[in-house]
Structure 1
Amino acid sequence: MDYTRTLKRGVIVTHYRDTYARIQLDYLKDNVNTLYQKVKKPMMAIIKANAYGHGYKEVANSLKENPHISMFGVATLKEAIDLRKLGIQQDILVLGAIPLENLDKVVKYDISLSLFSLDYMKEIQSLFHHQKPIKVHIAIDTGMNRIGLKSKEEFEKVLKLCSTDIFQIDGVFTHFATADDDLQKAAYENQLSMFYEILGDHQFKYIHCQNSASMMYHHETRSNIARIGIAMYGVDPAGDECLQLKQVMSLYSKVVMVKKVHKGEHIGYGFTYQADEDEYIATLPIGYADGFVRANQGRKVYINGHYYPIVGRVCMDQVMVKVDESVALHDLVEIFGEHIPLSQMAKELDTIPYEIVCLISERVERIYEPVLDKIYVSQ
């Protein structure tokens, strides 16, 4: 479908470029419901990295009244503050470190922090001068070696040293490294066992270790909230095609020029492609500055029911495609979507779907269905 001229519910959608992402918010809600039926517990919607490229303000706004979403997880303090300014009432957890000179904003906006090391805890204590304690979730490192406490002794020490005047410990969590890999099931089970061994008999408001992969491929009962990330956006965590979820994002461009080149002519930077015969070449306004990386050279796009190869190097703002004489100016081009799923594109690029959607830059306009009125975030 062509979305460049859209009028719905009196909202006129203006486009400034013929490259855009289509975000189907109804699919997002369907995926939340599908995952809830699997785990039957409250969920934390993970909307870091601009909601995996889908637009964190719009995604959060569409989920803020969803009965299955009890919490939001973000990567940065700015994301958390923006959610509060949008009117999000649920708890918000920053999953990584923040610059601690911003502790006053953490308290002001009632945001929860991840407490992941003794040093970080002591820094917070040394800088704390507020009326209310800071809400924290203690991170346990069970094998990722990214952030988190590494032993039961360290965990107990943090619990002992955490002054209740400074910290309100609301939760504890870990993150799995291999929950999406059936060949490494033992590693997943070792992490799960270590997490609960370190946790012991302690009880918290939130206990969470289930990520999207754990929710889809494993059964875990003690955690009382699940973190729904990539699966919420309709993407299988293992990068496979997934019929039970609906891919929320599709990416489109348009043909802005069709030219005939003669046998022996070259295409693009470095002359990496040479025409074997007289050929038709279409130019599209999408390039690596949009997140469409140079490794896409040689892959195919979908136009009018047919697949056509990308020839020559991907440029910063444009890319060339070898087509036939049936392709015309303004024809719609699917980069990924119904005919080219993200799982297929990721395999062809030797990467993961996460990377593809997260790399889509801000200059690629997101078009939301149902159409949203503009969301304003106060400064």
Structure 2
Amino acid sequence: MIQKSNATVEVNLAKLKKNLQALRSYLDEDTRVMSVVKADAYGHGAVEVASTLEPMVEAFAVNDIHEGIELRKQDITKPILVFEVPQKTTASQYRVHNLTATVSAKEHFDWLPNGTSYHLNFDTGMGRLGFSPEESERVLSLMEENQNLFCTGLYSHFATADSPESDFVTEQHHLFTKIREQFPGKLSAHVANTGATAFYSSEQFDMVRLGIGLYGYAPGKTNIEGIKPILQWKSNLVQIKPIIEESPVSYGATWQAPSDGNLGVIPVGYDDGLKRSLSEELTVRIGGEKYPLVGNITMNYSMVFLGDDKYKPGTSVELLYAESDARDWASKIDTIPYEILTSINPKIPREYIL
């Protein structure tokens, strides 16, 4: 993959470790952690994140088999659970690369080659993938009929654990508990995500799946004490030009200069993950000072009004930083930090701070 040269993403691995430690404080001593590194670790770099966390966690989770294979090729040895529905064309790769499949429908037993390990996925209210609770006995029979495959766990997904005191979490937990009681005790069981880990102390079972919290964000509006964002996004000014009062900027001419001054051009646009819907909503930081992005964000560029201040081309620009992080961006366009983080173009180089 050819990397871009217009920006850099800095990922602080020391803060990553501290976030894990903070989240572990919510867990029972013997509760294991599965680190979720799908979508390139939410845009942070799956290989580097997994390599950093491997001595500190018991397992990893990815979305698709290709993500799992990438980790194996980079010498990640801990168990890796693949969330996606198994595909006939790639099913053989689970065993080749020692990956754990997810089985959520009867036909998946037929697609997986002998010797494959798997976890069962039950739908307790997420309304996405998984067997229904009413199918528990049937699933037990399928397990017995397919002893050439190795079931090592079962799991479900909470739908509302991002909100403390959700009655629906209690309902899902009750359902999953009843399902768990029907299966052999040797199987691992996990349903709690970051929100359930921090907000619901009784939902842990023997393993939790930590995702967004590792990267420094709570899954909803309620903060989680002790975690901090680990990613910063930086670019630079490529051109500075004078602008006169009432001069329009960018497509649509929706913004006009409030006074004479200087306009800075940043070589980052929506192709890089700086969403167009954030136009005229953000401030960036240059030389310790905050300045507004103005006009519509374009595919490859965005503009900043500098007022009377002047900077040289090449001056660093902070896009995502402590006072303007993914949660702040998300609140401006009614989305979630997950979307902001995973939208950052993977071609932008990631630099890692130990």
Same fold? TM cut 0.5:
yes
1:219 aligns with 2:201: yes
Q: What's 1:115 paired with?
A: 103
Give secondary structure in 2 for the equivalent of 1:101.
coil
Structure 1 residue 164, shift from structure 2 partner: 4.1
1:159 aligns with 2:146: no
Structure 1 residue 191, shift from structure 2 partner: 0.8
Q: Deviations over 1:183-207 (max 9, x none)?
A: x610111111111122224224310
Q: What amino acid is aligned across from residue 121 of structure 2 in structure 1?
A: A
Q: What's 1:60 paired with?
A: 50
Give the alignment of 1:139-150 within 5 angstroms.
139-150=121-132
Contact 1:170/1:206, CA 8 A, preserved across alignment: yes
Give secondary structure in 1 for the equivalent of 2:229.
coil
Q: Deviations over 1:309-355 (max 9, x none)?
A: 11111111110011123240232222112221322221122111111
1:245 aligns with 2:233: no
Distance change in 2, residues 1:91/1:269 (3 Å): same
Q: What's 2:267 paired with?
A: 285
Give runs of ≥4 in structure 1 deviating > 6 Å.
Answer: none
Matched residues in 2 for 1:180 and 1:271: separation? 40
Q: What amino acid is aligned across from residue 155 of structure 1 in structure 2?
A: S
Give the alignment of 1:187-336 within 5 angstroms.
187-202=168-183, 203-220=185-202, 223-239=205-221, 242-299=224-281, 300-329=283-312, 330-336=314-320
Structure 1 residue 242, shift from structure 2 partner: 4.7
Q: Deviations over 1:132-178 (max 9, x none)?
A: x21111101011110011123x1221121223433211001011110
Give secondary structure in 1 for the equivalent of 2:351.
strand
Q: Which moved more, 1:23-32 or 1:201-210?
A: 201-210
Q: Deviations over 1:281-303 (max 9, x none)?
A: 11011110111010111122122
Contact 1:20/1:365, CA 8 A, preserved across alignment: yes
Give secondary structure in 1 for the equivalent of 2:201.
coil
Structure 1 residue 93, shift from structure 2 partner: 0.4
Contact 2:192/2:204, CA 8 A, preserved across alignment: no
Matched residues in 2 for 1:71 and 1:242: separation? 23
Give secondary structure in 2 for the equivalent of 1:309.
strand
Matched residues in 2 for 1:243 and 1:206: separation? 28
Unmatched 5+ stretches in structure 1: 1-14, 371-379
Q: What's 2:87 paired with?
A: 99
Q: What's 2:321 paired with?
A: 337
Identity of aligned residues (%): 28
Q: Which moved more, 1:313-322 or 1:328-337?
A: 328-337
Give the alignment of 1:336-375 within 5 angstroms.
336-370=320-354
Give secondary structure in 1 for the equivalent of 2:242.
strand
Structure 1 residue 264, shift from structure 2 partner: 2.9
Give the alignment of 1:66-105 within 5 angstroms.
66=56, 69-105=57-93
Matched residues in 1 for 2:221 and 2:321: separation? 15
Q: What's 2:38 paired with?
A: 48
Contact 2:191/2:204, CA 8 A, preserved across alignment: no
Structure 1 residue 19, shift from structure 2 partner: 1.1
Q: What amino acid is aligned across from residue 65 of structure 1 in structure 2?
A: P
Question: Of 95, 102, 111, which residue of structure 2 is paired with 1:124?
Answer: 111
Matched residues in 2 for 1:237 and 1:363: separation? 26
Matched residues in 2 for 1:166 and 1:241: separation? 45
Give secondary structure in 2 for the equivalent of 1:283.
strand
Contact 2:192/2:203, CA 8 A, preserved across alignment: no
Q: What amino acid is aligned across from residue 339 of structure 2 in structure 1?
A: E
Contact 1:239/1:352, CA 8 A, preserved across alignment: no
Relative to the length of structure 2, the TM-score reads 0.93
Q: What amino acid is aligned across from residue 237 of structure 2 in structure 1?
A: V
Contact 1:334/1:340, CA 8 A, preserved across alignment: no
Structure 1 residue 243, shift from structure 2 partner: 4.6
Q: What amino acid is aligned across from residue 124 of structure 1 in structure 2?
A: W
Matched residues in 2 for 1:61 and 1:265: separation? 50
Matched residues in 2 for 1:263 and 1:102: separation? 60
Relative to the length of structure 1, the TM-score reads 0.87
Unmatched 5+ stretches in structure 2: none
Contact 2:100/2:116, CA 8 A, preserved across alignment: yes
Q: Deviations over 1:212-259 (max 9, x none)?
A: 000111112561111010001111111455551021111111111111
